[in-house]
Structure 1
Amino acid sequence: MPKEEYVTNPNSVLFKPDGRVYHLELKEGDVAKRLITVGSPNRADLISQLLDKDSVKSFVSSRQFTTFTGTFKGTPVTIVSIGMGSIMMDFMVREYLAITNGPLAIIRIGTCGSFNKDIPPGNVITAKEGSIYIYRNYMHWDGTYNNVDDATAKTLCAEPYFFTKPGKGSDQLQDLMASHFKSTNVPVSEGLNACGETFFACQRREDPSYDDENKGVIPNLTNLAGTGKSIDFCEMETHELFHLAKLSKTPIAAGACAIALVNRHTSGVVGPDQLHQREEECGKACLSALVDLDVSNLKK
């Protein structure tokens, strides 16, 4: 193994000898306490163009995390693209916290499918009501549940998919986001998010090559725990962000919004020009919300 790949502190967040965390390849001083995270490097680059002229420094890690740090209206801000999925959010949040001191504010800007018939493609949805997680029950497919003696546990373990209760982000930060969206007439809704562990099966996309047993996913999402309450949008990263913000011993204010690319009940899809416009509008609103938030006074 090349010398530069050796790591220290192998039982926690991994550091290289020069102080850079292992996957982001950033060190203390490279990032700000206010952060926007996105999936796409192109979206990160677009939002970085909203930062103050000549303030931006960029870096791409060997694991393809793309980072831009600069200022917005004089306030330091970082933008990081992470790719897709909860595991990538886990890498980013834990390593980012390890190279900063004190409270953080993090907003995710993503794209999604709308599950609300009244929220058309092109609208922005914030996760004000929280986020649930949908994940595959691998015990269902490997037969583990056959060896469970307790009847209740056996029934639970037999289900092909699990659905968590909603986890919430920061009301203060998400109220600021919504305020900035509304002040610029961006069509925005405040709703309940769901995150799929996988893109296909957990979001009830049917793949004829696999027996995913996922026909019950959408009914579960449109009648959560028999309450009649439905999710409004679905993607893959928000729940992990909210979950880690809650567990962190350091205060993290977390918010999330997503641009609806499609509506899962109706027709229509966002075109590239409209998506580009919404990405820019989301960037401006979320950067403004981050600047308005007093990060230093965040409490657990």
Structure 2
Amino acid sequence: MTVQASELILNPDGSVYHLNLKPENIAHNIIFVGDQYRVSKISKHFDVIRFKTEKREFVTHTGTYNNKEISVISTGIGPDNIDIVINELDALVNIDLESRLPKKDLTSLNIVRVGTSGALHEDIPLDSFVLSAFGLDINGMLHAYQTKTIQHQDIEDAFMKHTNWDPQKARPLIVKNSAFLENKFQSSKTHLGLTVTAGGFYGAQGRVLRLPLRDSGLIDAIASFNFKGIRATNFEMETSAIYGLSKLLGHHALSLNAIIANRANGTFSSDPGQTIENLITYALERF
């Protein structure tokens, strides 16, 4: 079925609307960062950069690192932006933008998030790396799609019972990472865990400034959740959306988290920039 112009919007030059990209502009190995200024901190390691573009918060650099072609794309913050980025990347490789017809032979992208996060346990130290085995969606974005085939409902049910989940909120969804990418990126330097993806930074992650929380005990309940050894390890704002949409569209996805805050003991990294640089180097070498 033809994808209508109102559903897949293209710029006058034929590039996809938000990302400002054409199919030839991207590699099939992609690193996501939230911060647009972090793109150049990764691409500076490339042997050569063959393409650059930017529009709004979406910045893309494509080049080669050790003869491997890689694109780095800034997504901005939050699951709503991930909805834009992954759908438009999939359109670039799996929809013919001229005929607007889905391709018969589909392409799987390798997508690795390199981001920052806050740990929920004292035994996950500052400046360490968490590799997200699962993404726990508590923001509701994935409910726009048919997710039953990618969910882990046994873990979800246990989580809802443990946290006494408010039925007026969206049902939590739990999605596994790509086993293929986990095997490539896991090492003694990474902690495996369940990463909680919130829809906001303050109240959604249990931070209190001046506004009282609807459920003041939720963060402690999340931190104490453990299902057959699977525990909630860290909070951020993109992983579950990346995992869910990638699974549904047939792409491989992994989230690597630089731990720059520890919520359990209230500490923050003394040199978060170096921690991010260490994770960037680690990700590039594993690619």
TM-score by structure 2 length? 0.79
Report whether the alignment pairs 1:288 with 2:279. no
Matching residue of 1:191: 193
The aligned amino acid for 1:16 is N
d(CA) in 2 for partners of 1:13 and 1:207?
40
Percent of aligned pairs sharing the same letter: 26
Residue 60 of structure 2 is aligned with which of 67, 76, 79? Answer: 67
Closer, same or farther in 2 for the Cα pair 1:226/1:277, shift >3 Å? closer
d(CA) in 1 for partners of 2:227 and 2:191?
24
Closer, same or farther in 2 for the Cα pair 1:188/1:225, shift >3 Å? closer
**Is the 2:116–2:276 contact (alpha carbons within 8 Å) kept by the matching residues of 1?**
no
1:162-173 equivalent positions in 2, closer than 5 A: 162=170, 164-173=172-181
The aligned amino acid for 2:9 is L
TM-score by structure 1 length? 0.76
Structure 1's consecutive aligned runs of 4 or more residues displaced over 6 angstroms after TM superposition are 225-228
1:47-86 equivalent positions in 2, closer than 5 A: 47-52=42-47, 54-61=48-55, 63-86=56-79
**Is the 2:114–2:256 contact (alpha carbons within 8 Å) kept by the matching residues of 1?**
yes
Matching residue of 1:153: none
**Is the 1:43–1:279 contact (alpha carbons within 8 Å) kept by the matching residues of 2?**
no
d(CA) in 1 for partners of 2:181 and 2:33?
17
d(CA) in 2 for partners of 1:37 and 1:222?
26
Kindly tell me the number of residue pairs found equivalent between the two proteins: 250
1:222 Cα shift? 2.6
1:58 Cα shift? 1.8
Matching residue of 1:134: 138
Report whether the alignment pairs 1:115 with 2:111. no
**Is the 1:115–1:232 contact (alpha carbons within 8 Å) kept by the matching residues of 2?**
yes
Matching residue of 1:245: 246
1:162 Cα shift? 4.4
1:158-237 equivalent positions in 2, closer than 5 A: 159=167, 161-162=169-170, 164-179=172-187, 182=188, 187-208=189-210, 210-224=211-225, 230-237=231-238
Closer, same or farther in 2 for the Cα pair 1:134/1:233, shift >3 Å? same
Q: CA-atom RMSD, angstroms?
A: 2.4
Matching residue of 1:4: none
The aligned amino acid for 2:69 is P
The aligned amino acid for 2:135 is S
Give the greater-gyration-radius structure (CA).
Answer: 1
**Is the 1:202–1:214 contact (alpha carbons within 8 Å) kept by the matching residues of 2?**
no
SS at match of 1:127: strand
Q: Deviations over 1:142-178 (max 9, x none)?
A: xxxxxxxxxxxxxx99646445242111022022112
Matching residue of 2:255: 256
d(CA) in 2 for partners of 1:134 and 1:196?
6
SS at match of 1:239: helix
1:226 Cα shift? 8.1
SS at match of 1:16: coil
d(CA) in 2 for partners of 1:234 and 1:158?
19
Structure 1 stretches of 5 or more lacking a match? 1-7, 137-155, 291-300
Structure 2 stretches of 5 or more lacking a match? 95-106, 141-163
Report whether the alignment pairs 1:99 with 2:92. yes
The aligned amino acid for 2:92 is I
Closer, same or farther in 2 for the Cα pair 1:216/1:163, shift >3 Å? farther
Q: Higher strand fraction: Structure 1 or Structure 2?
A: 2
Moved more, 190-199 or 236-245: 190-199
1:7-22 equivalent positions in 2, closer than 5 A: 9-22=4-17
Matching residue of 1:278: 275
Closer, same or farther in 2 for the Cα pair 1:33/1:227, shift >3 Å? closer
Residue 87 of structure 1 is aligned with which of 80, 83, 91? Answer: 80
Q: Deviations over 1:261-296 (max 9, x none)?
A: 111111431123xx2332222223222333xxxxxx
